[in-house]
Structure 1
Amino acid sequence: MTETIVLGLDGANWALLEPWLDEGRLPNIEALRNEGVWTDMHSCFPPVTCPNWRCYSTGKNPGKLGVFWWETIDTDRRTLTTPDSRSFKSANYWDYLDDAGLTAGIMNLPMTYPPFEVDEFMIAGGPDSESDGYAHPPELGDRLDMEGYRLHPAVPVTSKEDRDAADAVVDLIRERLLTFRERLDDTDVDVAHCTVFYVNVLQHFFWRGEPTRRAWEVIDEQIGAIRDSHPDATLLLMSDHGCKDVETVFYANSWLEEQGYLVTEDTSDLLTEYGINKERLSKLAHKLGVHNLVTRLTPDSVTDRLPEDDEGFKREQKLQKVDWEQSRAVASGQGLVYVIDDDPETVDALVADLESLTDDDGNPVARQVMRREEAYDGPFVDDAPEIVFDQRPGVHTSGAIGSNPVFADAGQWEAENVRTGLFLVDGPAVEATEIDGPISITDIAPTVLHSVDCAVPTDVDGDPVPLFGDREVETCDPLPFDAVTDAARGDVQDRLEDLGYLE
């Protein structure tokens, strides 16, 4: 019998769901709230899928993992890389289950590609996963392929106009949870986990719009079916962060350039002056049926001078636009700023400037501005961006480099991540009637281990949530981890760009 089932609901918080709960659209989640215990949950900085799903699986903050966002900017080597599953320098809770002779089934957890050798199974997921070699054992992947299993939508949602693609995402979410239910029926594991990642993509592009509401109705229906099929299990709902509608887009690199912290090479010419970029040229060429001809005949000297889209230059190309000799800082997205040469005076000045920075309406951009030593703890703090700021709810911070204003109205995303997510637990073994919240995302791995009487490693940051009466919490020494890693492939980076995660 599966003792503990964890459903990861990417980007969910109670503030998002409350209107639908009040309208009776999510009866199964409401029933779990009435029968179980629930509270808010705080993610690690920044509140993003990567690294927070691995903060969940390890019980540790990014300073103990060595990964801080979807991309890492090395200001010494002037490179930009994207992490994969082996980039996180820690064992995960399923390793401790295995060490204790217990089993796990992990499905669709972001940042698990390539998959780990989990006893019983792992099916990688999230935008960083590829459609080959995504499952352990490998024959499980072959079986899923034969059944038509899909990691990603056939056509990605890339804008608020992609309604057909959004409908396909809703169908994908249903299929994902049906497959998870089949795995629960076919394989007895002590702990099972499934993440519903693509619901947050709908939230980003549509906020509480009709596609998002339908997706949550599907999720609620499947949660009810899981509860009915496994009434004796501890059922735990959690998220990696929450979300809120976007009020303001903050182009951090435009601000750094305006303030003199960042200097970029001049890329303006007649092409960019008239708004010509690769995205527009590609769409026009496809419309005229000459895309292959244009691609073959256009010189690199021309394409290299064009921004990817309206927001500017992307990925490695954007770093090529930085004048490294004259610049003092460069930003990634969602509140991360790298200071070149780790200059303490620049760090101090930037912290002060960001603390006083307001948008065009006079509202602060950041709720909190931290040096990396304040945001993180652990042996890999020196690998973190020098400055981390918690963007005000309603602010989306873009890391694009290009001819953008410092502030703009909501762009392609309708909603951005916030630090407050959700936590809910129900089941016969749960004796608590309330939780002193909010809890931390780093508390959940210890809680999962404790739920099946497995020892909790002594190097985690979190503590088991007191749910199971007087059950004693046992501890154990940390296990070693596999530190071999490769940067994610180009097609993974392209997918992250399509979704708006990398800019």
Structure 2
Amino acid sequence: MTETIVLGLDGANWDLLEPWLESGDLPNIQALREAGTWSDMESCPPPVTCPNWRCYSTGKNPGKLGVFWWEKIDTENRTLTTPTSRSFISSNYWDYLNDAGKTVGIMNLPMSYPPFEVDGWMVAGGPGSEQDDYTYPSTLEAELEERDYRLHPKIPVTSNEDREAASAIVDLIDDRFETFRGLLEDRPVDVAHLTVFYINVLQHFFWRDDVTKRGWQVIDEHIGEIRDAYPDATLYLMSDHGCTDVDTVFHANSWLEREGYLVTKTGASETFSKFGINKKRVSQLAHRLGVHGLITSLTPESVKDAVPEDEEGFKREQKLDKVDWERSDAIASGQGLIYLIDDSRTEELVRDLEKLERSGKPIASAVYTREEAYEGEFVDEAPNVIFDQRDGVHTSGAIGDNPVFSDAGKWKAENVRTGLFLAAGTDAGDESLDDDLSITDVAPTLLQQLGVAVPTDMDGEPQLTGGQSVASREPIPFASIDQSADDEVAARLEDLGYLE
């Protein structure tokens, strides 16, 4: 019998949903709020799909995992890598469930590719997953392929003008739920998880537009059907972070260059920018013609490196080639992360960010050193400075001929640290949640609710304990070879606007 079902709603927060809840457009979610217990929930900084879905699955902050964003910059070796599932140095809550004799089904959890071996089944998901070797057991892949299951849309949404592609995402979300429900029927497990990642893609590009509302109505309908099919299961709704509309784009590397922290080099590659040639435009055309993979495989690396990513300029590995490393002291990634080449300037950089404003509004609501933001054995691999973007700010990590500030661009909404949590079933509705509920609390809560001891290395604390004592245990060792994703994964992240 399925005891627990977790539905992960990427980028969801109550502020986003409230107008639709009040208008009666999401009746099943509203019914769960009335029957269960719910709250805001804080993500780990930065509030991004990667690393927060694995902060959820491990109960740990990024300082204990070794992954801090979609990319990691090594300023000493001047390299840039994209993580995979094996880059997070920790066991996950399903390891403890399996060790206690419970089966699991994990579907579409971002940063789960390559998939893990579990007692049950796993279908990898999120933008870092590929359409090959994405299931455990491997035989499950053939079953999914027979029903034309797709991890990603055929044509990606890359701007807020891609209406046809956005409608296809709504269909993808519908199929995602249908597949999940079919797996639960055919391969029943004790604990199941589904992440709906692509709803946040609609929010990023369209905010509260009608197409986003349609996506949420599809989600709400499936939630109601799942609740009816499994009335005795504890049902959790949770997110990795929230979102809000954008009013300012902050080009962090342009600001670093203006303030003397970063020096860049120019070269022949600016010719492509002059004539409006960039990877985003080429990728869109290639996807529509069905030749994206062919172009990627046939294009020489020297040409790929010389072409800007989009109108904003150079990203990924080629942006490192634009840095004059001998004369620079800092370089930015996106969404609030800055790496110091000369860490003696850390305090100065923090002060400059704290006072940085546009039109009288701060860019950062809070600025931290890595030691203040994280704890754990991998803190020294983190960006030196992390700042919480003020609500309404999107930070681009591109290097190019950009102003320091611009108005909202292709993204209409950006992530915020406040997500959501809801528990319904058993006696959940009779309990209250901590005011400072963290995403790292979810894994120990699941374990405690299922009568499984909580490992001592988790950062989070069990909620909904009913006053019972919490059993603890030694952690399960995690052995892995660190891996980096290939160029196809990086291209997908760039199309979606995550890597800038």
Q: Distance in 1 between matches of 2:251 and 2:182?
A: 45
Secondary structure in 2 aligned to 1:439?
A: coil
Query: How many equivalent residue pairs?
Result: 496
1:16-415 alignment, distance < 5 Å: 16-267=16-267, 271=271, 274-279=274-279, 282=282, 305-341=306-342, 343-344=343-344, 346-359=345-358, 361-415=359-413
Shift of 1:99: 1.0
Look up the equivalent residue of 1:358 and give its one-letter code: E
Cα gap change, 1:223/1:258 in structure 2, threshold over 3 Å: closer, same or farther? same
- Aligned CA-pair RMSD: 2.3
What residue is the counterpart of 2:428 in the other structure? Answer: 430
**Aligned partners of 1:110, 1:199: CA distance in 2, in Å?**
13
Structure 1 window deviating more from structure 2 (41-50 vs 485-494): it is: 485-494
Deviation at 1:267, TM superposition (A): 3.6
Aligned to 1:480: 477
Match of 2:416 in 1: 418
Q: Which amino acid aligns with 1:221?
A: E
Superposed CA deviations along residues 34-64 of structure 1, whole A, max 9, x for unmatched, are: 0100000000000000000000000000000
Instruction: Write the letter of the residue equivalent to 1:195.
Output: T
The one-letter code of the counterpart of 1:480 is P
Q: Is the 8 A contact 1:429 1:468 kept in 2?
A: no
For the 8 Å contact 2:73–2:81, the answer to whether it is kept is yes
Unmatched 5+ residue regions in structure 1? none
C-alpha distance in 1 between matches for 2:259 and 2:425: 55
> Alpha carbons of 1:297 and 1:41: their partners in 2 closer, same or farther (altered >3 Å)?
closer
Against the structure 1 CA distance between its residues 146 and 404, is the aligned structure 2 distance closer, same or farther, given a 3 Å change threshold?
same
Q: For residue 348 of structure 1, report the CA deviation from its aligned partner.
A: 1.1
CA shift at 1:71, angstroms? 0.1
Deviation at 1:218, TM superposition (A): 0.2
Q: Distance in 2 between matches of 1:140 and 1:304?
A: 38
Deviations 1:127-179 (A, max 9, x none): 00000000000001111111211111011111111111011100000000111
| Native 8 Å contact 1:432 1:468 kept in 2 | no
Following superposition, the deviation at residue 296 of structure 1 comes to: 12
TM-score for the superposition, normalised by structure 2: 0.95
2: CA distance, partners of 1:390 / 1:148? 40
What residue identity is the alignment partner of 1:386? N
Paired letter, 1:209: D
Change (3 A) 1:330 1:270: closer
What's the counterpart of residue 2 of structure 1? Answer: 2
Q: Distance in 2 between matches of 1:15 and 1:300?
A: 44
Give the conservation status (yes or no) of the 8 Å contact 1:89–1:483.
Answer: yes
**Separation (CA, whole Å) in 2 of partners of 1:87 and 1:283:** 27
Question: What displacement does 1:432 show?
Answer: 2.7
Mean Cα displacement is larger for which, 95-104 or 413-422?
Answer: 95-104
Quote how far apart the aligned CAs of 1:307 are. Answer: 2.1
The equivalent residue for 1:460 is 458
In 2: Cα distance, 1:280 partner to 1:127 partner? 16
Structure 1 residues 466-495: Cα deviation after superposition (integer angstroms, max 9, x where no partner): x24233321100110122122101100000
CA contact under 8 A between 2:337 and 2:387: conserved in structure 1? yes
Tell me which amino acid in the other structure corresponds to 2:400.
G
Counterpart-to-counterpart distance in 1, 2:365 and 2:482: 34
Match of 1:443 in 2: 441
Q: Matched residue of 2:171: which SS?
A: helix
Question: Per-residue displacement from partner, 1:238-287 (whole Å, max 9, x unpaired)?
Answer: 0000000001000000000000100000247883674532348748998x
Aligned in 2, Cα 1:115/1:295: closer, same or farther, shift over 3 Å? closer
- Kept after mapping to 2: 8 A contact 1:203/1:415: yes
Letter in 1 for 2:434: D
Deviations 1:389-432 (A, max 9, x none): 00101000000000000000011100000000000000024263
- With structure 1 as the length reference, what TM-score do the two structures score? 0.94
Note the alpha carbon deviations across 1:3-58, whole angstroms, 9 max, x for none. Answer: 11100000000000000001100000000000100000000000000000000000
**1:444-470, Cα deviation, whole Å (9 max, x unpaired):** 0001111110110011000011x2423
Bigger drift between 383-392 and 180-189 goes to 180-189
Q: C-alpha distance in 2, partners of 1:105/1:298?
A: 39
Checking the alignment, whether the CA contact within 8 Å between 1:190 and 1:452 is kept in structure 2 is: no
Instruction: Report the residue type matching 1:81 in the other structure.
Output: T
Deviations 1:212-247 (A, max 9, x none): 000000000000000000000000000000000001
